[in-house]
């Protein structure tokens, strides 16, 4: 309902709305058919000002606006406005206003980067060798480096064989 009110009145206030302005606009909107309030009050507890309306109080509206802000439907902006007093001096004061967000202008999320597993993962590069003595720790590192170099060499040979087989099949005449 709040989103609808803000979209319908977007032209009326290009500078944004204060919370009480949104609240008054929302109260002018008729509650949907079949709406029943689910608020339960206990004895001695104050009732919301507009129990029969979906936006029953300003504090409830602030909760709704916080959720809308999380969904990036609205944003809160600090603006400097002229005071409406009729004094000779024009005072300016800062106010926080709610503005609609154009989701088409938001940056698109980047596709997740898929990493290929490291060569050293199956060899145990990232494992903890602190339980070994220093001589065996050094030997383990050297062994892992040797195995990685062997794997890289095997991959180069396999890639070269694939490229040779594709060039020979391209050169061979077809039936």
The model's pLDDT over 7-52, given as tens digits with 9 standing for 90+, comes to 888 777 778 888 888 888 888 888 777 777 777 777 767 777 777 7
Considering just the CA atoms, what is the radius of gyration of the chain in Å?
A: 34
Mean pLDDT across the chain? 82
> Does the pLDDT at position 79 exceed 90?
no
Please state the rounded mean pLDDT for residues 158-162. Answer: 89
- In whole angstroms, how far apart are CA 12 and each of 21, 94, 131, 158? 12, 20, 71, 68
pTM for the model:
0.54
pLDDT over 70 percentage in the chain: 90
> Does the pLDDT at position 127 exceed 90?
no
If one counts every other C-beta atom within 10 angstroms of the C-beta of residue 6, the result is 22
């Amino acid at each position: 309902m709040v989103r609808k009110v803000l979209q319908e009145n977007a032209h009326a206030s290009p500078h944004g709305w204060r919370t009480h302005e949104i609240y008054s606009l929302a109260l002018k909107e008729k509650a949907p058919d079949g709406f029943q309030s689910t608020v339960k009050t206990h004895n001695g507890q104050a009732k919301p000002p507009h129990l029969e309306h979906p936006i029953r109080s300003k504090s409830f509206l602030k909760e709704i606006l916080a959720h809308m802000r999380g969904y990036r439907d609205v944003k809160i902006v600090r603006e400097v406005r002229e005071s409406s007093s009729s004094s000779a001096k024009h005072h300016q004061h800062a106010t926080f206003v709610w503005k609609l967000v154009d989701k088409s202008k938001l940056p698109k999320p980047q596709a997740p980067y898929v990493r290929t597993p490291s060569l050293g993962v199956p060899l145990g590069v990232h494992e903890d060798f602190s339980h070994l003595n220093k001589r065996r720790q050094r030997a383990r590192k050297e062994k892992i480096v040797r195995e990685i170099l062997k794997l890289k060499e095997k991959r180069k040979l396999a890639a070269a064989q694939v490229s040779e087989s594709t060039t020979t099949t391209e050169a061979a005449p077809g039936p």
